[in-house]
Amino acid sequence: MTKLTRRSFALGATAAGVSTFWISKARAAEFTYKFANNLALTHPLNKRAQEAADKIKAETNGRFELQIFPSSQLGSDTDTLGQIRNGAVDFFTLSGLILSTLVPAAAINGVGFAFDSYDTVWKAMDGKLGQYVKAEIAKTRQILALDTIWDNGFRQTTTSTKPIVTPADFEGMKLRVPPAPLWTSMFKAFGSAPTTINFNETYSALQSKIVDGQENPLAIIETAKLYEVQQFCSTTNHMWDGFWFLANRRNWEALPEDIRAIVAKNINAAGLAERADVASLTTGLRDALSAKGMKFNDVNATLFRDKLRAAGFYAEWKGKFGDEAWSTLEASVGKLS
C-alpha cells in the first residue's frame, strides 16, 4: 500500500473523478425504454423480464436499458393501453381479451373451454391462430406484438362465499372480471353479475366485498395474495389466457436494427422460459394455497360448457369473430359452436 502525499492524493482523486465521470457517462444508456405490466414483482413474468433486461444491457454494451414497472405502477391496464398507443410507454404485456377493446380479434383465445391442454394452447398460439391475431394487432399501426405470447394460465374461479360446483352456483354472484367484453359476456351467460374492475383494484374490491369472487390462474392467486381475501377455489378451467408483449410501433422502429434484434431475441426467449415457470409453479400451488386456507373443489366442465352453449355464447362470439377467425380457432381446438 503506497503512502499518498496530499498532492498525489488530490491528483489521484481528480483523475478518479474524471474517469468515474466517463465510466458513468459511458454507462448511461443511449436508449432507455419503459416496460409496464400489472403483475407482482414475484410473478415469473417479472423475474424473466428482469433476466432479459440484464442480458439485453450486456449484449448491447449498455446502449439499451429496459426499465420494468410492475404492479400497474404506471396506471391501470386500460390507462396503460392508451400509453402504449401514444408511446408514453414503450412495452406492455396485456391479455388479448383486454386488448380486444382496440383489436377485437385478440379476444379469440379467451373463448370459453376452447383449450383443454397447454399442448393445444401452444399449437394454436405459436401457429396460425397466433399469427392471425398478431397480424390484426399490427393493422393498428400504433402497436405490434413480439413473436412469443407469454403465459397467464388456465383461469379458476374463487369466491369468499361458496364453492362453484355447478353453473347454478353462479346465479346472481357479484363477480369481478377484467375490463373486456368477452369476460362480461361469458359470466353473464353463466348467470352471474359480472363487474369490470382493473386488476390493480381487484384485491381491494374483494376485501371490501364490492364483489364476492373473481377468476384467475393459480399463479396470480398466489403472487397477488388473493388467497388472503378469497376462501374457495373451484377449478373451472373456463379459459386459457396469455399476455401479448406489446411494443409502441414508432418507438420500436426508432431502435437501430441490431439493438432491435437483441431486444426481440431476449424478450421472446424470456417468454418461453416464463411459460415453463408458470407451468411448474402451478403444479404445486393447489397444495400451497390449501395450506393457506383455500378450499378447493373440482367441477364437471361439460356442465359449464353446455350452459354457455345453451345461453348462445358460442353462436354470439362466432358471429362477432367471423367465419375465418372462428374456423382458424376450431382448426386448432376442434368444434366449439
The smaller minimum CB distance to ligand X2X, of residues 199 and 304, is found at 199
Chain-centre distance of CA 128, in angstroms? 21
Q: Does 38 bind ligand X2X (CB under 6 A)?
A: yes
Using CB under 6 A as the binding criterion, the count of chain residues that bind ligand X2X stands at 8
Q: What separation, in Å, do the N-terminal and C-terminal C-alpha atoms of the chain show?
A: 81
The smaller minimum CB distance to ligand X2X, of residues 29 and 193, is found at 193
CA distances 265 to 53, 68, 211, 282, Å, are 11, 17, 41, 26
Q: Closest approach of Cβ 238 to ligand X2X, in Å? A: 13
Q: Does 234 bind ligand X2X (CB under 6 A)?
A: no
Q: Closest approach of Cβ 268 to ligand X2X, in Å? A: 20
In the block, cell 388456465 appears at 154
The smaller minimum CB distance to ligand X2X, of residues 216 and 282, is found at 216
Interface residue with ligand X2X among 220, 278, 281, 329 (CB under 6 A) is 220
Q: Closest approach of Cβ 214 to ligand X2X, in Å? A: 7
Q: How far apart are CA 226 and CA 233, in angstroms?
A: 11
Interface residue with ligand X2X among 44, 70, 130, 178 (CB under 6 A) is 178
Q: How far apart are CA 267 and CA 289, in angstroms?
A: 30
The smaller minimum CB distance to ligand X2X, of residues 192 and 216, is found at 216
The candidate with the shortest Cα–Cα distance to 311, out of 188, 157, 219, 183, is 188
Which positions from 262 to 301 touch ligand X2X by CB under 6 A, shown as an x/- string?
Answer: ----------------------------------------
The smaller minimum CB distance to ligand X2X, of residues 224 and 262, is found at 224
Q: How far apart are CA 295 and CA 314, in angstroms?
A: 31
Q: Does 241 bind ligand X2X (CB under 6 A)?
A: yes
Q: What are 127's strand-pairing partners?
A: none
Q: How far apart are CA 257 and CA 259, in angstroms?
A: 5
Within 10 angstroms of residue 126's Cβ, the number of other Cβ atoms is: 14
Q: How far apart are CA 244 and CA 235, in angstroms?
A: 24
Q: Closest approach of Cβ 64 to ligand X2X, in Å? A: 26
Which amino acid, 274?
E
Considering only residues 76 through 135, tell me which ones interact with ligand X2X, judged by CB under 6 A: 95
Interface residue with ligand X2X among 60, 216, 236, 332 (CB under 6 A) is 216
Q: Closest approach of Cβ 216 to ligand X2X, in Å? A: 5
Interface residue with ligand X2X among 154, 199, 232, 314 (CB under 6 A) is 199
Q: What's phi and psi for 97, nearest 5 deg?
A: -70, -35
For 154, the 3-state DSSP assignment is: strand
Q: Closest approach of Cβ 306 to ligand X2X, in Å? A: 25
The candidate with the shortest Cα–Cα distance to 151, out of 105, 71, 218, is 218
> Are 158 and 226 a contacting pair, CB within 8 Å?
yes
The smaller minimum CB distance to ligand X2X, of residues 124 and 220, is found at 220
The smaller minimum CB distance to ligand X2X, of residues 40 and 259, is found at 40
Residues that bind ligand X2X (CB under 6 A): 38, 95, 152, 178, 199, 216, 220, 241
